[in-house]
Amino acid sequence: MFSSDGGGAQNANHFAIGVSISVLLSVCHFRLDLMTALIAINLLTFAAFGLDKMLAKTHWRRMRETALLWFAALGGTPGAYAGRALFRHKTRKQPFSRRLHAVAAFQLLLLAGALAWVMAG
């Protein structure tokens, strides 16, 4: 499915992002709740970290870090942290770690703002 030539990582990125968008659209289409959507994106994010670790071990072209960060930004931050811990993946890459922490911090600020808005009105 993935090759070690230049197109393998790009194909893996497109596939993973396409699957996540399809899942999110189907969740919205069937009017399922937000919790179901968050569970789905976290499972996809966790799987993406596992896939990228497998690709790294087999010396194949890997997923782009931006794709992994987008999964986290779309709501999969807990899945990203769980994948990092379980697969011991991307734990020593400081630029990646800083970006993931920034995504998490931004999401916490959004959550705090949403809670404050709900409590105020």
Percent of the chain with pLDDT over 70: 73
Q: What is the pLDDT at residue 60?
A: 85
Q: What is the DSSP letter of 3?
A: -
Q: What is the pLDDT at residue 1?
A: 43
Cβ(66)–Cβ(60) under 8 Å? no
What is the CA 6 to chain-centroid distance, rounded?
Answer: 23
Q: What is the pLDDT at residue 10?
A: 62
CB half-sphere exposure, 102, CA atoms < 13 A: 8
Q: What is the pLDDT at residue 27?
A: 59
Task: Answer yes or no: is pLDDT of 97 > 80.
Answer: yes
Verdict on whether the full-model pTM lies above 0.85: no
3-state SS record for 45-95: HHHHHHHHHHHHHCCCCCCCHHHHHHHHHHHHHHHHHHHHHHHCCCCCCHH
Percent of the chain with pLDDT over 90: 31
Could you tell me which of 100, 59, 58 has the C-alpha nearest to residue 77? 100
Cβ(97)–Cβ(85) under 8 Å? no
What is the tens place of the pLDDT at every residue in 55-74?
Answer: 888 888 878 888 899 999 99
Q: Where are the domains of the chain?
A: 8-120
| Better-scored residue on pLDDT, 90 or 115 | 115
Question: What is the amino acid identity at position 76?
Answer: G
What is the tens place of the pLDDT at every residue in 7-43?
Answer: 555 666 667 666 666 766 665 655 567 788 889 999 9
Please state which of the ranges 8-17, 90-99, 107-116 shows the lowest mean pLDDT.
8-17
Q: How far apart (Å, rounded) are the C-alpha atoms in residues 1 and 38?
A: 28
